[in-house]
Amino acid sequence: MDFSITILYASETGTAQDVAEQIWKSAKRKGLNSVVSALDDYDLANFDSERLMVFVVATTGQGDPPDNMKQFWRFLLRKSLPPSMLDNIRYGVIGLGDSSYKKFNFAAKKLNKRLAQLGGIQLLPIGLADDQHDLGIDAVVSPWVRELWEKIIFIYNIPNVNISNNIERIIERYKISILDDSKQRSSTEIAYYLETDIYTQEMNIKDELKIGVIIENTRTTAEDHFQDVRLIKIQREDIIYEPGDIIYVRPKNSLKQIEKFFNVLNDNNVLLHPDMIIQVSERQIKVPYVLKQTLTLGEIVAQYWDLNYKPRRSTFEILHQISENELEKEKLHEFTMPGGQEELYDYVNRPRRNIIEVLADFPHTTSKLNIQILFEIMSPIKPRAFSIASSAINTKNEIHMLVAVVNYKTKLFERRLGLCSNWLANLKVKSKIIFWIRKGTFIFPSNVPKILIGPGTGIAPFRSLLLEKAAMKQDLTTCLLFFGCRYKDKDYHCKEDFINLTSTTGLKLFCAFSRDQEHKIYVQHIIRENNFLCWEFLQNGANIYLAGNSKDMPNNVRDEFIDLVKENGKLTYEQAVNFIEQLEKNNRYQSETWS
Task: Report which DSSP code applies to 201.
Answer: G
Q: Determine how many CB atoms are found less than 10 A away from the CB of residue 110.
A: 21
Q: Any known ligand binding at 524?
A: yes
Residue 149 and residue 165: Cα distance in Å, rounded?
10
Q: Any known ligand binding at 103?
A: yes
Q: Any known ligand binding at 51?
A: no
Number of H helices, E strands in the chain: 19, 22
Beta bridge mates, 402: 231
Q: Any known ligand binding at 479?
A: no
Q: Any known ligand binding at 458?
A: no
Q: Any known ligand binding at 11?
A: yes
> Around 502, how many Cα atoms within 13 Å sit in the side-chain half-sphere?
11
Q: Determine how many CB atoms are found less than 10 A away from the CB of residue 190.
A: 19
Q: Any known ligand binding at 59?
A: yes
Which residues lie below 8 Å from residue 174, measured CB to CB, with a gap of 6+? 280, 281, 282, 283, 285, 287, 291, 375
Q: Any known ligand binding at 385?
A: yes
Q: Any known ligand binding at 379?
A: no
Beta bridge mates, 248: 385, 436
- Of 39, 33, 42, the C-alpha closest to 17 is 39
| Distances from the Cα of 91 to the Cα of 86, 120, 139, angstroms | 10, 7, 21
Beta bridge mates, 97: 130
Q: Any known ligand binding at 346?
A: no
Q: Any known ligand binding at 315?
A: no
Q: Any known ligand binding at 594?
A: yes
Beta bridge mates, 303: none
Q: Any known ligand binding at 511?
A: no
Q: Any known ligand binding at 186?
A: no
Contact 35, 4 (CB under 8 A): yes
Q: Any known ligand binding at 523?
A: yes
End-to-end CA distance of the chain: 44
Beta bridge mates, 572: none
Residue 36 and residue 286: Cα distance in Å, rounded?
9
The phi-psi region of residue 244 (left if phi > 0; otherwise alpha if psi is between -120 and 50; otherwise beta) is: left
Q: Any known ligand binding at 390?
A: no
Residue 123 and residue 126: Cα distance in Å, rounded?
9
Residue 20 and residue 9: Cα distance in Å, rounded?
6
Residue 62 and residue 547: Cα distance in Å, rounded?
12
Q: Any known ligand binding at 58?
A: yes
Contact 372, 281 (CB under 8 A): no
Q: Any known ligand binding at 384?
A: yes
Q: How far is CA 578 from the centre of its chain?
A: 31
Question: Count of residues for the chain?
Answer: 595
Q: Any known ligand binding at 419?
A: yes
Four-point Cα dihedral 22, 23, 25, 30, nearest 10? 150
Q: Any known ligand binding at 131?
A: yes
Q: Any known ligand binding at 352?
A: yes
Q: What are phi and psi of 579, to 5 degrees?
A: -60, -50
Q: Any known ligand binding at 515?
A: yes
Q: Any known ligand binding at 136?
A: no
Q: Any known ligand binding at 418?
A: yes
Q: Any known ligand binding at 487?
A: no
Residue-wise over 44-64: b if at least 16 C-beta within 10 A, else e?
A: eeebeebebbbbbbbbbbbbb
- Of 295, 80, 63, 260, the C-alpha closest to 179 is 295
Q: Any known ligand binding at 182?
A: no
Q: Any known ligand binding at 522?
A: yes
The phi-psi region of residue 174 (left if phi > 0; otherwise alpha if psi is between -120 and 50; otherwise beta) is: beta
Residue 450 and residue 568: Cα distance in Å, rounded?
18
Q: Any known ligand binding at 99?
A: yes
Q: Any known ligand binding at 15?
A: yes
Position 311, amino acid: P
Q: Determine how many CB atoms are found less than 10 A away from the CB of residue 5.
A: 23
Task: Report which DSSP code applies to 370.
Answer: -
Q: Any known ligand binding at 331?
A: no
Residues annotated in the binding site for FMN, as ranges?
A: 11-16, 58-61, 96-105, 131
Residues annotated in the binding site, as ranges?
A: 11-16, 58-61, 96-105, 131, 352, 384-387, 418-421, 457, 514-515, 520-524, 594
Residues annotated in the binding site for NADP(+), as ranges?
A: 457, 514-515, 520-524
Residues annotated in the binding site for FAD, as ranges?
A: 352, 384-387, 418-421, 594
